[in-house]
Amino acid sequence: MPNSQKKTSKKVAPKKKALHTELVRQMLTLATSGFGLVAALAWNSLIQEFVNSYIKKYFPANSGIISLLIYALVITFIAVFITYQLSKVLERVSPDSSK
C-alpha cells in the first residue's frame, strides 16, 4: 500500500507545480495589465491637458469637436508609433517572430 501512495503523490506534484506556475503567470499578467491601464490613464490626462492648454486657445470658444479631433489624432499617432517600435524590438529579441 505505501508504494501506491508514493506513485500517486509523484503524479500529483507536477500538476500542483504546473497549477502554481500558471497561477503566478496569470497574476503577473493581471498586475502588468493593471499598471499598463494606470499608465495609459496618466498619459490620457497629460495629453488632454496639453490640448486644452496649448491648442484649444487657437480655436473659437465652441470648438470642442476640433479639440477632440486633435486629441484623437495625437493618441492614434502615439499608439501606432509605440506599437511599431515594440514590434521592431520583438523582431530583434525573438528568433521565432522572423518571417
User: pLDDT digit string (tens) for 28-53?
Assistant: 999 999 999 999 999 889 988 888 88
pTM over 0.75: no
Q: What is the pLDDT of residue 3?
A: 56
Residue 70 makes CB contacts below 8 A (sequence gap 6+) with 51, 55
66-69-74 Cα angle (round to 5): 130
Name the grid cell of 53. 492648454
Q: What is the pLDDT of residue 2?
A: 56
Measured distance CA(75)–CA(43) in Å, rounded: 9
Print the domain residue range for 47.
2-97
Domains held by the chain: number? 1
